[in-house]
Structure 1
């Protein structure tokens, strides 16, 4: 029987304070981006946020 503490495949989070990828949410939700399907996607979380912000800024200027 599961106690809910196991991580399942595709459960990666990026911690914005430590700049580390966590397998399963290990920190407070307010510090995390995710979930992501792969470790690589989680590692690219900040770059994706920056791209999204730039895109939204461009849309606002239209």
Structure 2
């Protein structure tokens, strides 16, 4: 069993946090190191998207 099998994931289909790969790959975000971080998955993804969008804007301008 590798580390990802024991990591924490956020399930997009039912908005739960689970340990291990219990949801389809397209339905999960992670792995995260712990439950608390996985619970913040949507916030983390939004921050990463914002940062990438800002980098794109700087590149294009």
Question: TM above 0.5, one fold?
Answer: yes
Distance of 2:10 and 2:50 partners within structure 1: 20
User: Under a length normalisation based on structure 1, what TM-score does the superposition of the two structures give?
Assistant: 0.79
Aligned with residue 14 of structure 1, among 10, 21, 30 = 10
Q: Does structure 1 residue 39 correspond to structure 2 residue 45?
A: no
Structure 1 residue 50 and structure 2 residue 46: aligned?
yes
Residue in structure 1 matched with residue 24 of structure 2 by the alignment: 28
The unaligned stretches of length 5 or more in structure 2 are: none
Determine which structure has the larger helix proportion and give its number: 2
1:46 CA displacement: 0.6
Q: Which 5+ residue runs of structure 1 have no aligned equivalent?
A: none
> Any runs of at least 4 consecutive aligned residues in structure 1 with deviations exceeding 4 A, and if so which?
none
1:10-57 alpha-carbon deviations (Å, 9 max, x no partner): x11100111110111111111011111100010011101000111111
